């Protein structure tokens, strides 16, 4: 097992303001602060992180970060994915492991961050990490929910917007797993990714992580019990809002019940 003290870990929150499906989402106010601010505060609670940055192409995001004492780096407007944006940020940050903590994952927790980092400490052969969580079969039919299947060692076999695995005869009851869009990379893996062109499956599914698999770079997938709501659409935003409202009501009820 590698000693955590010998490995420098940097968290990076890629924050593109003009996203295709929900423009401006990372600065949308949520419980009094921007969505990306929730991601920053949660990640900061992880003791395994040595540094934490926001990487953006937006002056508005930069101004928000500066005004709230959040370390921020400006990156090019041409990046097609968070991984590419972190590849540029890597040129300005000294670290051995980089985390991709998406700015549209406001339900991120310190536990998620730890689960991304720990496989690197336990196995020096691990190049890339991500997370999965159990998924209801009905939700697996939604193409906006990315699914993952893994081998017996926990390495990804494939990611897809389709419901995988497919039960051909309908008699089996396959387990579905949702992929959470959070990643960890060794510097070498991220450097290599930055030199690779977009791949056919990546472009077909519109999933950046498939570029690793199509180039024989394994991705270790840890299972987490904590689901998140990644905000890609207005529907996601509404689901997140309902979830937070329900959670607040439950907390109030618990407080009143204990008084």
**How many beta carbons lie within 10 A of that of residue 83, not counting itself?**
21
- Mean pLDDT to the nearest integer, 219-231: 94
96 within 8 A of 189, measured Cβ to Cβ: no
- Mean pLDDT to the nearest integer, 193-217: 96
202 within 8 A of 214, measured Cβ to Cβ: yes
- Alpha helices (runs of H) in 48-105, residue ranges in sequence order: 59-67, 82-89
Q: In which region does residue 147 sit, left (phi positive, over 0), alpha (psi from -120 to 50) or beta (all else)? A: beta
Distance CA 161, CA 181 (A): 13
The predicted structure's pLDDT at residue 2: 46
- Mean pLDDT to the nearest integer, 67-93: 93
% of the chain residues with pLDDT over 70 = 96
Whether 176 shows a pLDDT value over 90: the answer reads yes
| Averaged pLDDT of the chain | 91
The predicted structure's pLDDT at residue 20: 72
Say which range, 15-24, 117-126, 196-205, has the weakest mean pLDDT: 15-24
Whether 1 shows a pLDDT value over 50: the answer reads no
Q: In the 8-state DSSP scheme, what is residue 155?
A: B
The predicted structure's pLDDT at residue 97: 97
Select 4-133+177-233's CATH number: 3.30.2290.10, 3.90.550.10, 3.40.50.620, 3.50.50.60. Answer: 3.90.550.10
pLDDT tens digits for range 22-47? 888 999 998 889 999 999 999 999 99
Whether 259 shows a pLDDT value over 70: the answer reads no
Please report which confidence band the pLDDT of residue 4 belongs to, taking 50, 70 and 90 as the band edges. low
- Mean pLDDT to the nearest integer, 189-211: 95
Domain chopping of the chain, boundaries: 4-133+177-233
Distance CA 243, CA 251 (A): 12
């Amino acid at each position: 097992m590698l000693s955590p003290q010998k490995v420098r870990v940097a968290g990076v929150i890629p924050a593109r303001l003009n996203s295709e499906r929900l423009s401006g989402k990372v600065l949308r106010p949520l419980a009094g602060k921007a969505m990306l601010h929730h991601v920053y505060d949660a990640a900061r609670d992880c003791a395994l992180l040595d540094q934490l940055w926001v990487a953006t192409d937006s002056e508005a995001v930069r101004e928000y970060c500066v005004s709230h004492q959040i370390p921020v780096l400006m990156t090019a407007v041409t990046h097609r994915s968070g991984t590419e944006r972190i590849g540029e940020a890597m040129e300005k940050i000294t670290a051995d492991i980089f985390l991709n903590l998406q700015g549209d994952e406001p339900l991120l927790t310190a536990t998620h961050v730890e689960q991304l980092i720990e496989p690197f400490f336990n196995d020096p052969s691990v190049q890339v990490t991500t997370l999965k969580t159990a998924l209801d079969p009905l939700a697996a039919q939604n193409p906006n929910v990315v699914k993952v299947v893994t081998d017996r060692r926990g390495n990804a076999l494939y990611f897809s917007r389709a419901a995988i695995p497919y039960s051909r005869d309908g008699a089996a009851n396959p387990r579905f797993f949702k992929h959470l869009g959070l990643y960890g990379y060794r510097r070498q893996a991220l450097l290599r990714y930055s030199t690779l062109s977009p791949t056919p499956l990546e472009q077909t599914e519109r999933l950046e992580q498939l570029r690793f698999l199509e180039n024989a770079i394994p991705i270790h997938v840890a299972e987490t019990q904590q689901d998140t709501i990644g905000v890609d659409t207005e529907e996601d935003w509404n689901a997140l809002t309902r979830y937070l409202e329900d959670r607040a009501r439950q907390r109030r009820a618990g407080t009143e019940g204990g008084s």
